[in-house]
Amino acid sequence: MGEKDKLTRFEEAILPHMDAAYNIARWLTRNERDAEDMVQESYLRAFKFFDAFTGVNARAWLLTIVRNTCYTWLQQNRGRELMTEFDEKIHSEQNEAWDPAAQAAKEIDGRMLTQAIEALPAEYREAVVLRDLEGLSYKEIAEVAAVPVGTVMSRLARARARLKRLLTERLKEKA
């Protein structure tokens, strides 16, 4: 196949997912310009390796590249953000099947929710964004993050528990 055919296939399969790519990059980098750079770099990498794409799930394939590009950049530029501190209270809390995104949308403004999500460690932020904002399945998130489904479930539970605590604290401060 020629380079023109490759470009056409790439545009059809990958370009429709640019918003999702930017969304995850924005949440991981916490900065619009850095996110734009990460998406641009990711699209260059995706095009370079497009011949290796099997055509199964273009969105998950692209988001994997965006995720890896962002994590590489974060390691080089903000290494401390990738470390997750262990908090006994958070890690031992039971998941009460509370959906913080839905609850928060009803009770607080989007700005407070955005700040709470941004306060999460990168791996938790990633799980919440991919699941609750991008609508990926646990299996798709596991593929993107290259972790077992159980790890995805654990990260989501911990992220939601932490979001619950952060939002509760901020609501108390507002009152």
Report d(CA 36, CA 44) in Å as an integer: 12
Last residue of a domain, one of 38, 57, 81: 81
- Same structural domain, 34 and 93: no
- pTM for the model stands at 0.68
- Same structural domain, 92 and 168: yes
Structural domain of 66:
3-81
Instruction: pLDDT tens for the chain, 175 residues: list them.
Output: 577 888 999 999 999 999 999 999 999 998 999 999 999 999 999 999 998 888 889 999 999 999 999 999 998 886 655 554 444 444 444 444 456 555 544 554 678 888 889 899 999 999 999 999 899 999 999 999 999 999 999 999 999 999 999 888 888 887 6
Angle between the 3-13 and 32-48 helix axes, to the nearest 10 degrees? 130
Element counts in the chain: helices (H) and strands (E): 10, 0
